[in-house]
Structure 1
Amino acid sequence: MADAKKLTKSLKLFDVYAMATGAMFSSGLFLLPGIAAATTGSSVYLAYFAAGFLILPAMYCMAELSTAMPKSGGTYFFLDRAMGPLMGTIGGLGSWIAVVFKSAFALVGMGAYLGLYFDVPITLTAIVLTIGFGLINFFGAKETTMLQRILVTILVVILGMFVILGLADAGVDRIFAPEPSYGAFFNSGFVGFIATVGLVFVSYAGLTKVASVAEEVENPDRNIPLGMTLALLTATAIYTLGTFILVKLLTPDELFGSLTPMADGAAAIGSFLPSDILVFAIVVSAIAAFASTGNAGIMSASRYPFAMAKDKLMPAPLSRLSKFETPTFAILLTVAAMIFVLATLDVESVAKLASAFQLLLFGLVCLAVIVMRESKIPGYRPGFRTPLYPWVPLAGIFIALWLIFEMGLMAIGFTFLIAILSGLWYQHYAGDRVERRGAIYHVGEQMAKSRYDGIETELMGIVHDRTTEQNLAYEEVIAQSVMIDLKSGHYDFEILLERALAEGEARYGIDAEVLSGDMDRNPYERHRLHSRAMVLHRSVMKLASPALFVFRLCDDAQFSFGTEYDLHTVLILLVPEDPVGLDLRITGHLSEIMRAPGFEQRWLDASGEAELNALLVRDEHFLHGYVSEFPALAGQVGRRVGEIDLPGSALIVMIERGAQLVIAKPGIELRDGDRLSIIGDTEDIAALRRS
C-alpha cells in the first residue's frame, strides 16, 4: 500500500458544485417543509430564503480559508492552523462525528423512500448502502465524483421540473394571491418565524463540505468559491420556490402533518402530467438526494481523520493512501462508524443534535478568518477574500451563536459533550506528539512571544502546492539567477538593491525604473530562509518574469542589516504580480533547500556561479554538465536551442560558455564545450540521465 501523503487534484468546477449541491438536499427538502410550515405558516418559503442568506458569511469565510489553505480536512485544518491543535482536534473530531451522523441519517431516508416501492428493511438497507458508497470512495475521487455528478444532475433536473410545473399549475392568480387558509403570513408571529429560520438553516450546512476535499480541487482559487456560490444559488432557488409551491397547492392539514411533502405536492400537480409519474420522479429525486448526501458525506468525513493523522493527532495508518490514491483506513473508519450509528442509535435524533455542533463550527471558521487576517503572516494569501471584512465574519459568529441558542439546551449540551470528548482525546493521545501552535500566537505583541514560526514555512509550502501548474518556475529562476560574492566591505540593503538593479539591467535587460518602481504599494517583505540566510521579496508591476539576485559574504565582507541579524547570504527576489503568491512559492522552495542537513557548509564551500546554482536547485528537476556528457545531445552541436529535441518537458535554460553565462534563448546556437543547466519534470530528467 502506498504511503504517499498527497491526494490527486482531480476535482473540477462541476465536481465542487455537485458535492456542495448534493450535500444540501436531503431531509431539508423532502421531510422538513411540513414541520417548518406548521411553525410559521405560509411564510415558510421566506424562512428558507432567509436561511440561504444567513449562510453567506460562513460560506465566504470557508471559501477564503479554502483558497488560502486548500488542504484535506477543511474545517479541522483551518481551526488547527488558526487557533492551535487543541481547537483543531475539537473541530476535526466534531466535524467527523457530525458528518457521520448526518450521512447515516440521509441513508436511512434513502432506505425509507426505497421502501415505498420495495419491501426492504430500512436499517439493513441503509447499512448495505453505506458499504456500497464506501467501496466507491475506496476506488478513487474520480469514481466518487462521477457518481455525484450523475445523482446531482438527476436531482436538479427533476426538482427544476417540479418547480416549473408547480408554478404553471398554480397559475398567475394563485401565485400572487395570499393563502387565507393559512391564517396570518407569520402564523406564530415574528418570533416563530425566526425559530423556523433556525430550524431550516441546517438544510444548507452541507454547502461547506467541499472544504474538506479542497486539496483535491483543481484551481481552488476559482473553483471553490464559484462552485459554492452556484450551489447556494441552486439550493436557495429550489428550496424557496419549492416550498412556495407547496403552500399554494396543499392545504394546511395536508402540509403540516406530512413527512413526504414533496411527494404530496407532486400528487397535487395534475394539469400537465399524470400525478403518479411526477410522484415517481420526486421519489427518484429524493433517493438521488439522500444518496448524494451519503456519498459526499463518506468522502468528506474520511478526510478529517486522514488530515489529522498526517498532523499526528490520530494514529498514523489513517494517513496512508491506497494505490487508488484514496485514504483507505480513514474511509474504513468512517464506514464502520456509520454502520455502528445505524445499528445502535436513534439516527434522526442524534443527527439533529449534531447540527448544533455544525453551527458552532461555522462560527469558529468565521473567527479563524479574523485570526488569520490579523496574524499578518506573509504566507496567508487567499485567492478569494471575504467581502466587507471584518463585518461579515463578525456577523457569521453572531448568527451561529444565535441559532445554537434557538436549538435549545439539549443541542447545546450535545455540542459541549463533543467538545469535551475531543479535548480529552487531544490531552491523552496527541498533546505530547505535536509542538505546533496556531496563527493566533502571531496576533498582538504579547502573544507573539510564544508564536510558532513553523506555520509561516507551512503556509509558503501551501502556496507552492496551489501553483503547481508553474512547477518548473523555481528551477528556471534559480538557473537564471545572479550570484554575487562580496569579498570585502560593509553592505546595507540600499547598496545591495543598487547592485541588483544594475545587474538586472545588464543580465535581464530590465529597466532599473521598473525594478525600483511601485515600492510604496508593494514594499519588500523579509523572510528568514535559514538561521543565517534571508530573502527580501516583493511583486513588481510590468515585470514579465521573476528575477533573483543572491549575495554571499566572502572573506572580510559584512552585512549591516541590524544587530539582530548574523547573515552570510541575502537574496533579493522580484516577481510579476501574476500569478499571486509566486514569490512565496519560490521562497518556500529556497527555505526547504537551505534547511537541509549539511547545506550551509556546502554553500559556503561552493566556488563559482554554476556550483551555487546547482546547490539551490532540487536534484530531481535539474541537470548540470557539458554537452558531451549527454548522449541525447550528440550530433546537435551547431543547432539552435529552440530546435533541440529533449525528453518531455526537459529544457535548456542556461549555458556556461567559458567565463560567460548566457540565457538559453531559442535562437542561441549550441557549441561544443558549452556547460548546460537543464530543468524538467522528474521523469524527463531521469530519462535524460539514462540516455
Structure 2
Amino acid sequence: MTDTVTHAAGSSGPDDKKLAKDLTLFDVYAMSTGAMFSSGLFLLPGIAAASTGNSVFLAYFFAGFLIMPAMYCMAELSTAMPKAGGTYYFLDRAMGPLMGTIGGLGSWIAVVFKSAFALVGMGAYLGIYLDLPFEITAIILAIAFGAINIFGAKETTTLQRVLVVTLVVILVGFTLLGLKAALEKNGSLIVFNPEYGAFFKGGLVGFVSTIGLVFVSYAGLTKVASVAEEVQNPDRNIPLGMTLSLATATVLYTLGTVVLIKLLPGEALFGSLTPIADAARVFAGDWPFDIGVILIVVAAIAAFASTGNAGIMSASRYPYAMAKDRLVPERLAELGKFKTPTLSIMLTVAVMIGVIYIFDVASVAKLASAFQLLLFMLVCAAVMVMRESRIPTYKPGFKVPLYPWMPIAGIIIGFWLIIEMGTMAIAFTGMMVIGCIVWYNVYASRRVNRRGAIFHVHERLGRNAYEGLEHELMTIINDRTQAENLSYEAVIARSLVTDFRYGRYDFELLVDLMTIEGESRYGIDPTVTRKILASETPVFRPISDGVRLARYVDARVKEPELFIFRFGPSSRLDMNLEDSEGLHTLMVLLSPLKPAGLDMRIAGHLAEIVQGEGFEPRWLSARSEAELNDVLVRDDHFLHVAVETLPRLKAQIGKPIGDLIGLGDVVVALIERGGKTRIATADNVIQNGDIVALVGEPNDLVALRLASATEEGEV
C-alpha cells in the first residue's frame, strides 16, 4: 500500500544576538560602489597620467579586470559563510585563528586608515565653503557617521543609497557631457593627445606600475563581505551586487579618464589634485553660478562621504566578529538597542579620530593598501583550502568560475602588485603581520581551541581534521535557509511513504514508483528520476542503523520532494548495499539547486527525527497512516485535524484554500477526503468531512487553536 504521511521538524526561533538581515541587493550595490569612488577618481588620475600618459584610461580598465579574481573569491566565501567579519571569518575558518587574527586586526586597521583618509578628503572639499581645518571637519564627520551606524544597518545604508545615487548620477552626467564636449573640440574620440607624449609614456614598466597605483581604487569593492550576515538572500545579492558595482566603477573610471585626456592639457592634468573639477570648468565654466563645478564638488563630497560611511560600517564588524570568537575582548560582540555592534562602532570611530589627529593619514592609507593586497591573496588561497578540504557542509551559493585558475591568478596578481608598491609598503605590511601575531600569542591563543579547514586537507595526508567546523558550517546553512523553513515543513508533510510488506524488490522498481508518483503528484519531469537509475550505484548514506538516505539535486526540480520506502520483515530488497543488515527504510530526497544547502538542511532534520529516542520500534510497528503520522511528525509543528473540529476552518467550508482567512502563517499542506490523501493547492475547496494537515511554527499553531476556541466560546 502507499501511504502519505506528514512530518515537520522544528527550527530555532530568532536569535536576539544576531544582526538584523536588512540589506537588499541595492544596499550591497550602494555599499560596494560607494566604497570605491573617492581618491581613485577625484585625486589619482593626474598622478597616474603623469606616469603613463594617454594610456591611463587603459590602466583603469585593466585594473578593473585584475580585481575580478579577488572579488569572485570573496563572493564565494561570502555566500558559503555569510557572517559578520568577512575576511577575518573566512581566513579564520579556512586557515585557523592565527591567520584569522592577522586578517581581522589587519583588515580593521587598514579600513580605519583608508576611511579616515576619505573623511579628511571630504573635509578638504568642504573647506572650500566652510572655514574649518580639515582635521576638525573630518573628526566631526567621523562622529556623525558613527552615530548613524549605531542606529542600524538600514539607516546607514539609507544614507549610503542617497550618497551613491547622487554620486553616480553626477558622474554619469559629467562623463556624457564631457565626451560630447571632447567630440566637439577634437572631432574624434580617439584617445591620443600629443601633449601627453607617447601612448605609453613611461613604457611598459610605467604602464604596469600605473595599473598597480590605480588598482587600490577598486579595493573597496569587497568591503561588503564584512556585513554579509546582514544581507538578504546572500547567494544572489552579494555576487550580483558586487558585479554590478564593478561594472559601474570600471565604466566611469575608464570613460572619465578619457574625458580628462581629451579636455585637459598634459601639464594641467599632471599637476592637478582636482582633475574632475578642472575638466568640468572646460565645458561648464560658463554655466550660471558656476553650477557645473559646484555639482562636481557635491559629487566629490558624496564620494568621500560614502567611502567613510561604508568604511565605519564594515570596519566595525571585524572586532564584533572576532569578539564572538574570543580573539578580542568579548564585550565588543554585544549588540545595542538597535541590533548593531555599538561598542565596536564606538571603538572604530575613536581609533579613526586618533588616526586623523596623530598621523599623516594620506601616507599611511597608501601603505595600508599593500596590506589589503596581501588579504586579497589570502582570500584567494582560502577558497582553494575550503574546496580542497572537501567538507560536505561547505556549500557556497556562488562558485568562483574557472577554478582553480581564477584563485591562482588572484594570488599572483596580489604578489606582483605588492612588489610594485615598493620597500616601504612591504615593510609596513610586515610590521602589521608581526603585530597581529604578537596579539594572538599574548592574548588570544589560550582562549580558543579551534582549527581551520586546512586541517581537513591535512586529514587526507593522514592528520587530524577539526570536526567542529563542519557543525558550524551546517549551522550557517540552516541560517541561510531560514526563509525556506516553512517550505521544509511542507515537503515533509507531502512526503510519499510506500510500505513494502511482502515480496522482493529492486532499485529499478523503486525508481519506477518515484517516476510515476513524482510526475502525477509533484509534476516532476520523469527524466529526473530516470537519471537516478542511470547512475547505477545510488549513494544511500546511513542516518540511523536501519534508515538510509540518498540526496539528488537537479535544476528541473522546483520544490524539494521526499520519497520513503519501508520494508517489512517478509519483504526483501535486492540491492548491492554494504552493511545492509537491519536495513528497513530507504529515503530519496530530490531538491532544486537553490537555495544551496537546502537538501542538507532537510537531511539534517530527518536524521534528528530517526535518531530520536523510540523512533525505530514505533516506526516498525506502525500499521496505519495515522500511526505513521504519529511517528514521523513533530507535534509542535504539525496539526492533523478534522475541519469540523477547528471552528475557524469550519466557518469557511466551501471556500478554496487560497481564500482562507485567519490562519496567519499556518499552511494547509494535505487534505484527506474519502480515504485518499492529496496535496493541498490554492484552488482546492474545503468540504465537510475533510481531514487537513496544518503545518507551521509552534506559536502560530497554538494561536490558531486558541483563536478557534475563543470563537467557539470555550475560552
Q: TM-score range by the shorter chain?
A: 0.7 to 0.9
Corresponding position: 1:11 with 2:11: no
Q: Secondary structure at the match of 1:600?
A: coil
Q: 1:488 to 1:603 in 2, by over 3 A?
A: farther
How far does residue 204 in structure 1 lie from its aligned partner after superposition?
Answer: 0.5
Identify the residue that residue 90 of structure 1 maps to in structure 2: 102
Corresponding position: 1:372 with 2:382: no
Query: For residues 351 and 374 of structure 1, what CA distance do their matches in structure 2 show?
Result: 35
Contact 1:78 1:368 in 2 (8 A): yes
Identify the residue that residue 33 of structure 1 maps to in structure 2: 45
Corresponding position: 1:57 with 2:69: yes
Corresponding position: 1:358 with 2:354: no
Corresponding position: 1:138 with 2:154: no
One-letter identity of the residue aligned with 1:481 = S
Q: 1:158 to 1:615 in 2, by over 3 A?
A: farther
Q: Secondary structure at the match of 2:550?
A: strand
Map residues 90-169 of structure 1 onto 2, 5 A cutoff. Answer: 90-169=102-181
Q: 1:515 to 1:484 in 2, by over 3 A?
A: same
Q: 1:528 to 1:412 in 2, by over 3 A?
A: farther
Query: For residues 523 and 211 of structure 1, what CA distance do their matches in structure 2 show?
Result: 40
Query: For residues 546 and 448 of structure 2, what CA distance do their matches in structure 1 show?
Result: 26
Identify the residue that residue 407 of structure 2 maps to in structure 1: 393
How far does residue 641 in structure 1 lie from its aligned partner after superposition?
Answer: 5.8
Identify the residue that residue 78 of structure 2 maps to in structure 1: 66
Q: 1:614 to 1:457 in 2, by over 3 A?
A: farther
Match of 2:250 among 236, 239, 246: 236
Query: For residues 406 and 274 of structure 2, what CA distance do their matches in structure 1 show?
Result: 36
Q: Secondary structure at the match of 2:235?
A: helix
**TM-score under structure 1 length normalisation:** 0.87
One-letter identity of the residue aligned with 2:346 = L
Match of 2:530 among 494, 513, 517: 517
Please list the CA deviations of residues 428-481 of structure 1 after superposition, one character each: whole Å capped at 9, or x if unmatched.
Answer: 444344444333333366347422334344434434443444331111122233
Please list the CA deviations of residues 513-536 of structure 1 after superposition, one character each: whole Å capped at 9, or x if unmatched.
Answer: 656421357985566657986532
Q: 1:661 to 1:345 in 2, by over 3 A?
A: same
Map residues 289-304 of structure 1 onto 2, 5 A cutoff. Answer: 289-304=303-318
Query: For residues 429 and 551 of structure 1, what CA distance do their matches in structure 2 show?
Result: 55
Contact 1:461 1:585 in 2 (8 A): no
Of 60-69 and 406-415, more deviation after overlay is shown by 60-69
Match of 2:492 among 473, 478, 503: 478
Please list the CA deviations of residues 243-295 of structure 1 after superposition, one character each: whole Å capped at 9, or x if unmatched.
Answer: 23323333343222322222233233357635932222211111110000011
Query: For residues 580 and 328 of structure 2, what CA distance do their matches in structure 1 show?
Result: 39
Query: For residues 289 and 62 of structure 2, what CA distance do their matches in structure 1 show?
Result: 31
Contact 1:98 1:355 in 2 (8 A): yes
Please list the CA deviations of residues 199-227 of structure 1 after superposition, one character each: whole Å capped at 9, or x if unmatched.
Answer: 11101100111122222223333322222
Contact 1:474 1:589 in 2 (8 A): no
How far does residue 680 in structure 1 lie from its aligned partner after superposition?
Answer: 2.2
Of 545-554 and 250-259, more deviation after overlay is shown by 545-554
Corresponding position: 1:648 with 2:664: yes
Query: For residues 252 and 377 of structure 1, what CA distance do their matches in structure 2 show?
Result: 56
Contact 1:305 1:314 in 2 (8 A): yes
Match of 1:281 among 280, 295, 306: 295
Query: For residues 315 and 495 of structure 1, what CA distance do their matches in structure 2 show?
Result: 59
Contact 1:13 1:227 in 2 (8 A): yes
How far does residue 156 in structure 1 lie from its aligned partner after superposition?
Answer: 1.3
Identify the residue that residue 575 of structure 1 maps to in structure 2: 591
Identify the residue that residue 35 of structure 2 maps to in structure 1: 23
Q: Secondary structure at the match of 1:471?
A: helix
Q: 1:216 to 1:290 in 2, by over 3 A?
A: same
Query: For residues 577 and 649 of structure 1, what CA distance do their matches in structure 2 show?
Result: 25
Of 249-258 and 296-305, more deviation after overlay is shown by 249-258
Contact 1:37 1:255 in 2 (8 A): yes
Of 387-396 and 557-566, more deviation after overlay is shown by 557-566
One-letter identity of the residue aligned with 1:587 = A
Contact 1:636 1:670 in 2 (8 A): no
Map residues 166-205 of structure 1 onto 2, 5 A cutoff. Answer: 166-170=178-182, 171-173=185-187, 175-176=189-190, 178-205=192-219
Of 110-119 and 305-314, more deviation after overlay is shown by 305-314
Query: For residues 7 and 453 of structure 1, what CA distance do their matches in structure 2 show?
Result: 26
Query: For residues 98 and 547 of structure 2, what CA distance do their matches in structure 1 show?
Result: 33
Q: When the two structures are aligned, how many residues end up with a matched partner?
A: 682
* Aligned residues with identical type, % of pairs: 57
One-letter identity of the residue aligned with 1:586 = I
Query: For residues 316 and 394 of structure 2, what CA distance do their matches in structure 1 show?
Result: 26
Identify the residue that residue 678 of structure 1 maps to in structure 2: 694
Contact 2:490 2:695 in 1 (8 A): yes
Q: Secondary structure at the match of 1:517?
A: helix
Query: For residues 106 and 289 of structure 1, what CA distance do their matches in structure 2 show?
Result: 8
Of 369-378 and 442-451, more deviation after overlay is shown by 442-451
Contact 1:461 1:588 in 2 (8 A): no
Query: For residues 438 and 586 of structure 2, what CA distance do their matches in structure 1 show?
Result: 46
Match of 2:260 among 246, 260, 274: 246
Match of 1:311 among 302, 325, 330: 325
How far does residue 682 in structure 1 lie from its aligned partner after superposition?
Answer: 5.5
Unaligned 5+ runs, structure 1 = none
Of 187-196 and 510-519, more deviation after overlay is shown by 510-519
Query: For residues 312 and 526 of structure 1, what CA distance do their matches in structure 2 show?
Result: 39
Of 4-13 and 23-32, more deviation after overlay is shown by 4-13
Q: Secondary structure at the match of 2:590?
A: strand
Identify the residue that residue 4 of structure 2 maps to in structure 1: none
Query: For residues 566 and 135 of structure 1, what CA distance do their matches in structure 2 show?
Result: 63
One-letter identity of the residue aligned with 1:317 = R
One-letter identity of the residue aligned with 2:598 = L
Query: For residues 44 and 660 of structure 1, what CA distance do their matches in structure 2 show?
Result: 73
Query: For residues 480 and 186 of structure 1, what CA distance do their matches in structure 2 show?
Result: 67
Q: Secondary structure at the match of 2:317?
A: helix
Identify the residue that residue 603 of structure 1 maps to in structure 2: 615
Report 1 or 2 for greater relative contact order, CA contacts < 8 Å, sequence distance ≥ 6: 2
Identify the residue that residue 437 of structure 2 maps to in structure 1: 423
Q: 1:619 to 1:324 in 2, by over 3 A?
A: farther
Query: For residues 261 and 565 of structure 2, what CA distance do their matches in structure 1 show?
Result: 74
Q: 1:115 to 1:472 in 2, by over 3 A?
A: same
Q: 1:158 to 1:562 in 2, by over 3 A?
A: same
How far does residue 316 in structure 1 lie from its aligned partner after superposition?
Answer: 3.4
**TM-score under structure 2 length normalisation:** 0.84
Contact 1:518 1:541 in 2 (8 A): no
Q: Secondary structure at the match of 1:472?
A: helix
Contact 2:671 2:691 in 1 (8 A): yes
Contact 1:154 1:285 in 2 (8 A): yes
Map residues 453-492 of structure 1 onto 2, 5 A cutoff. Answer: 453-482=467-496
How far does residue 562 in structure 1 lie from its aligned partner after superposition?
Answer: 3.7
Identify the residue that residue 206 of structure 1 maps to in structure 2: 220
Q: Secondary structure at the match of 2:694?
A: strand
Query: For residues 178 and 114 of structure 1, what CA distance do their matches in structure 2 show?
Result: 34
Q: 1:532 to 1:20 in 2, by over 3 A?
A: farther
Please list the CA deviations of residues 55-77 of structure 1 after superposition, one character each: whole Å capped at 9, or x if unmatched.
Answer: 12112222222233333222222
Q: 1:335 to 1:447 in 2, by over 3 A?
A: farther
Of 433-442 and 64-73, more deviation after overlay is shown by 433-442
